[in-house]
C-alpha cells in the first residue's frame, strides 16, 4: 500500500541504478516503500571499474542475499599481491569477524545488471533510458522531484516524490542542480582500464601496483605517477588499469591512455598485457574521493556513493562504500517515512550524514593524507622501499589500505586503525 499523494509518482525516487541505487532500491522495496528507480542507460551496460571487490564489498552482497559462490559466477580472490619496483608481497585477506575471508571479481556488465534485476524483483519500478537533468524544488527550496528526458526522443518528463536519492555517480547532476558543489581541496582521481587476454586470468590474487615503471630504456627506468591494478576474471581475461590522484603534479596534463600503455609495455611479456591481446577499448572515469561533496543530506535530497564523493582515497574502491551508504540510507528513509512530514521527519533524515560520517569519515580523512603522499612518486617510492620491508608494519599497511579491519574489537592492528579513524575529524 503506497503512502504517496495524488500528485506524487512514488514515495522515493532513486536516480541511478548502479551499485548504490540498485542496493538502496532493493532494501526500500523489501521494506514496502514505493520506489521509482531511474537509469539513464539500458541494461546490461558497461561501466569503467576495476571489476573487483574486497571482502568489505563482498559483505554487502551477502547482506543483500546474493549468492557469492564461484558456482554463481563469481571469481574468488584469496588476497592481495602488492608489487613495487623490486618487491612482491602476497597477503591473504585477513580473517575477521566483520568480513568474509575472500574477495570477488565480476565484470560490471554482469554485476550492475544483477543488482538492477534484484531491485526489480524486490518491487522497485525501474525506468531505463531516463536521463535525470535536475531536481525540482518547491518554494522553500526543498527537493520534491526530478526533471528528466526519456527515450531516444529525449521527451521531457517530471517525476515527484517526497524524497530523492542521488545515486548518479561522479557527474552529481542532482547535487549540482541545487548548489551542492564539490570541495576542490579533497582528492579526485582518474582511472583508465583495459581488458586483456592473459594466462593470469585465474590467478588467486588481485594485484595492486604501488609503483608504475617505464622500462622502455632498461638503462634508465623511470618512475611514473599513479598506481595500478590487475583483477583476474577467470574467463581468459584480466582487467588491468591505473589511477592517478589530483594530488599529483601530473594530474591535469597527462594522457592517461598513453600512460597505461607506457607502463604495461614494461611488464613481463608472458603476462600478456600487450596491444595484440587487448579486448575492446580503453575506458576512463573520474573517482570522487574522501567526501569531496557534502552535505550528504539537505532538504529532501540524499547523496549516496560516488555522488557524495565516497570513493576510498586509500585504494580507489567505490563499490563497497556505495553499497554501505545505500544500506544506511534505506534504514534512515524507512524510519523517516514512518513519521509525518515536518521537523520530526527531518530529524530522522539527519541521521544519514551522521551515520555515514561515523562509518567512513575519519578513515577517509586519513586517506586524504595518504593521497598527498601517493601523489608524489619519489616520496611513495621511499615509503614502499623501506616501509614494506618492516614485517610488523605490514598488517597495518595492508588492513589500512584495503579497509578490511574490525572496527569494533579485533586485534591490536584493528583497534589502532579504528582509534586513528575515530580521532580524525570527519570531513565536512
Write out the E strands in 246-277: none
Burial class (CB in 10 A: 0-12, 13-18, 19+), 412: exposed
Determine the Cα–Cα distance for residues 392 and 397; give it in Å rounded to an integer.
10
Is the sign of the CA dihedral 60, 101, 392, 241 positive or negative?
negative
Query: Using DSSP, how many helices (H) and how many strands (E) does the chain show?
Result: 12, 21
| Neighbouring residues of 139: CB distance < 8 A, sequence distance ≥ 6 | none
Determine the Cα–Cα distance for residues 104 and 74; give it in Å rounded to an integer.
6
pLDDT (0 to 100) of residue 393 = 76
**CA 263 remoteness from chain centre:** 24
- Is 172 within 8 Å of 307 (Cβ atoms)? yes
SS3 19: helix
User: For the chain, which domains are there?
Assistant: 12-75+98-184+290-423 (3.50.50.60), 188-288 (3.30.70)
Determine the Cα–Cα distance for residues 261 and 341; give it in Å rounded to an integer.
55
Q: What are phi and psi of 230, to 5 degrees?
A: -145, 125
Q: How many CA atoms lie within 13 A of 295 on its CB side?
A: 13
Show the DSSP H helices in 15-139 as ranges.
19-30, 55-63, 108-122
**CA 134 remoteness from chain centre:** 23
Query: Which of 321, 349, 327, 409 has its CA nearest to residue 54?
Result: 321
Q: At what angle do helices 362-374 and 412-423 cross, to 10 degrees?
A: 90
Q: What is the pLDDT along the chain (428 residues), one digit of tens a residue?
A: 567 788 899 999 999 999 999 999 999 999 999 999 999 999 988 887 778 899 999 999 999 999 999 999 999 999 999 988 778 999 999 999 999 999 999 988 899 999 999 999 999 999 999 999 999 999 999 999 999 999 899 999 999 999 999 999 999 999 999 999 999 888 898 999 999 999 999 999 999 998 887 777 778 877 777 789 999 999 999 999 998 888 887 788 888 898 899 899 989 999 999 999 999 999 998 999 989 999 999 999 999 999 999 999 888 889 999 999 999 999 999 999 999 999 999 999 999 999 999 999 998 888 888 877 777 777 777 777 777 777 777 888 888 888 899 988 888 988 988 888 887 877 77
Amino acid at each position: 500500500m503506497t503512502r504517496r499523494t495524488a500528485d506524487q509518482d512514488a514515495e522515493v525516487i532513486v536516480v541511478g541504478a548502479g551499485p548504490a541505487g540498485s542496493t538502496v532500491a532493493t532494501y526500500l522495496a523489501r521494506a514496502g516503500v514505493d520506489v521509482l528507480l531511474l537509469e539513464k542507460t539500458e541494461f546490461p551496460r558497461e561501466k569503467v571499474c576495476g571489476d573487483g571487490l574486497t571482502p568489505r564489498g563482498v559483505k554487502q552482497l551477502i547482506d543483500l542475499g546474493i549468492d557469492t559462490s564461484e558456482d554463481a559466477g563469481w571469481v574468488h580472490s584469496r588476497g592481495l599481491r602488492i608489487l613495487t619496483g623490486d618487491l612482491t608481497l602476497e597477503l591473504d585477506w585477513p580473517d575477521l569477524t566483520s568480513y568474509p575471508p575472500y574477495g570477488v571479481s565480476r565484470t560490471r556488465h554482469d554485476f550492475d545488471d544483477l543488482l538492477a534485476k534484484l531491485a526489480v524483483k524486490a518491487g522497485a519500478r525501474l525506468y531505463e533510458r531516463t536521463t535525470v537533468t535536475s531536481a525540482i524544488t518547491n518554494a522553500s527550496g526543498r527537493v520534491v522531484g526530478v526533471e528528466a528526458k526519456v527515450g531516444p526522443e529525449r521527451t521531457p518528463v517530471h517525476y515527484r516524490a517526497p524524497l530523492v536519492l542521488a545515486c548518479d555517480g561522479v557527474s552529481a547532476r542532482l547535487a549540482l542542480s541545487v548548489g551542492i558543489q564539490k570541495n576542490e581541496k579533497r582528492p579526485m582521481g582518474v582511472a583508465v582500464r583495459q581488458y586483456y587476454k592473459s594466462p593470469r586470468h585465474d590467478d588467486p590474487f588481485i594485484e595492486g601496483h604501488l609503483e608504475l615503471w617505464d622500462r622502455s630504456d632498461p638503462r634508465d627506468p623511470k618512475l611514473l605517477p599513479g598506481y595500478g591494478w590487475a583483477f583476474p576474471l577467470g574467463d581468459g581475461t584480466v582487467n588491468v588499469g591505473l589511477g592517478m590522484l589530483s594530488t599529483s603534479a601530473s594530474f591535469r596534463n597527462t594522457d592517461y591512455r598513453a600512460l597505461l600503455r607506457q607502463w604495461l609495455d614494461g611488464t613481463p611479456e608472458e603476462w600478456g598485457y600487450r596491444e595484440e591481446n587487448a579486448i575492446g577499448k580503453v575506458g576512463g572515469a573520474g573517482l570522487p574521493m574522501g567526501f569531496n561533496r557534502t552535505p550528504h543530506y539537505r532538504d529532501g535530497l540524499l547523496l549516496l556513493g560516488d555522488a557524495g564523493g565516497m570513493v576510498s582515497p586509500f585504494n580507489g574502491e567505490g563499490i563497497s562504500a556505495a553499497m554501505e551508504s545505500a544500506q544506511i540510507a534505506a534504514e534512515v528513509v524507512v524510519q523517516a517515512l514512518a513519521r509525518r512530514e515536518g521537523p520530526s521527519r527531518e530529524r530522522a533524515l539527519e541521521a544519514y550524514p551522521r551515520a555515514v560520517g561515523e562509518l567512513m569519515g575519519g578513515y577517509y580523512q586519513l586517506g586524504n593524507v595518504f593521497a598527498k603522499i601517493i601523489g608524489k612518486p619519489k616520496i611513495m617510492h621511499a615509503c614502499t622501499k623501506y616501509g614494506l620491508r618492516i614485517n610488523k608494519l605490514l598488517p597495518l599497511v595492508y588492513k589500512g589500505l584495503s579497509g578490511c579491519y574490525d572496527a569494533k574489537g579485533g586485534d591490536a592492528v584493528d583497534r589502532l586503525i579504528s582509534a586513528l579513524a575515530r580521532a580524525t575529524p570527519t570531513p565536512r
